[in-house]
Amino acid sequence: QQQVKQSPQSLIVQKGGISIINCAYENTAFDYFPWYQQFPGKGPALLIAIRPDVSEKKEGRFTISFNKSAKQFSLHIMDSQPGDSATYFCAAEPGSARQLTFGSGTQLTVLP
Amino acid sequence: DAEITQSPRHKITETGRQVTLACHQTWNHNNMFWYRQDLGHGLRLIHYSYGVQDTNKGEVSDGYSVSRSNTEDLPLTLESAASSQTSVYFCATSPGGGTDTQYFGPGTRLTVL
């Protein structure tokens, strides 16, 4: 049972454009929502994370939008660059345990 | 610098053999995790440990085992390798104590023939 659904599976964006990746969750016990970035041949690395007490968090060109009532959160990459080309994973973790449940991943390609 | 190392980075084995993947961290983190990554499935949790002598099953633990005899190491053993266990395996750690960020190793690509 996939508790975190991620879309789209792949995304192609022109340089300078906005990349948007969406995730939806089912478990209302989740209280920590990170996004991880993974380059080929490397392990995932934390990009940005949010807790449900805020609706938005911004770090540089990366923004998480969080909608608690809809149980959805999304990653927005502004002014996308070719160096942003990677696989992005959303994840969620319940307050009762330090265990991440990951989405299936989005392969982002930013064209020069 | 503190880090997570995984070995071997690549492994080819045969069906039925026992295989052990190593994970070593110098972060001194309490929590350690093993994931497998397969196309279309993201990362799925195999086993995890919150400290020495503590181990727990994750979502896809069948056919895998771990042991935690010290803070630094959490080896993952495939008791009798199956072709369905061909995957990329990642070890991760987190400090514990309310800090949720997980730090991932470089991964081990395992092929079971």
pLDDT for A3-53, tens place per residue? 899 999 999 999 999 999 999 999 988 989 999 999 999 999 999 999 988
- Summarize the confidence of residues B90-111 as an average pLDDT: 89
Q: What is the mean pLDDT of chain A?
A: 93
**Which of A36, A99, A106, A107 to probe by mutation at the B interface, max B CB count within 10 Å?**
A99
Cα(B74)–Cα(B67) distance, integer angstroms: 6
pLDDT band at B100 (very low <50, low <70, confident <90, very high): confident
Contacts of B48 (CB under 8 A, 6+ apart): A99, B31, B32, B33, B34, B55, B56, B58
Nearest residue in chain A measured CA to CA from B92: A43
Structure tokens belonging to residue B100: 């949720």
Residue B106 pLDDT > 70: yes
The secondary structure of B15-44 as a DSSP string is TT--EEEEEEESS--SEEEEEEEETTTEEE
Confidence (pLDDT) at B40: 81
Confidence (pLDDT) at A92: 93
Among A61, A32, A64, A25, which Cα is nearest to A48's?
A64
Nearest CB to B104; choose among A41, A45, A98? A45
Q: Looking at CA atoms only, how far is residue A74 from chain B in angstroms?
A: 17
Among A10, A11, A16, A35, which Cα is nearest to A81's?
A16
Residue B99 pLDDT > 90: no
Q: Looking at CA atoms only, how far is residue A17 from chain B in angstroms?
A: 25
Confidence (pLDDT) at A35: 97
pLDDT band at B94 (very low <50, low <70, confident <90, very high): very high
Cα(A45)–Cα(A56) distance, integer angstroms: 20
Nearest residue in chain B measured CA to CA from A87: B42
Instruction: Give phi and psi for A61, each to the nearest 5.
Output: -85, 0
Q: Looking at CA atoms only, how far is residue B70 from chain A in angstroms?
A: 20
Confidence (pLDDT) at B75: 98
- Whether residues A49 and B101 touch (CB distance < 8 A) is answered with yes
Which run of H or E residues covers position B107?
A: none
- Whether residues B105 and A43 touch (CB distance < 8 A) is answered with yes
- Whether residues A43 and B106 touch (CB distance < 8 A) is answered with yes
Residue B63 pLDDT > 60: yes
**Which segments of chain B are extended strands (E)?**
4-7, 10-13, 19-25, 31-38, 42-51, 54-57, 64-66, 76-78, 87-94, 103-104, 108-112
**What percent of chain A is modeled with pLDDT above 70?**
98
pLDDT band at A97 (very low <50, low <70, confident <90, very high): confident
Cα(B50)–Cα(A73) distance, integer angstroms: 28
Confidence (pLDDT) at A81: 97
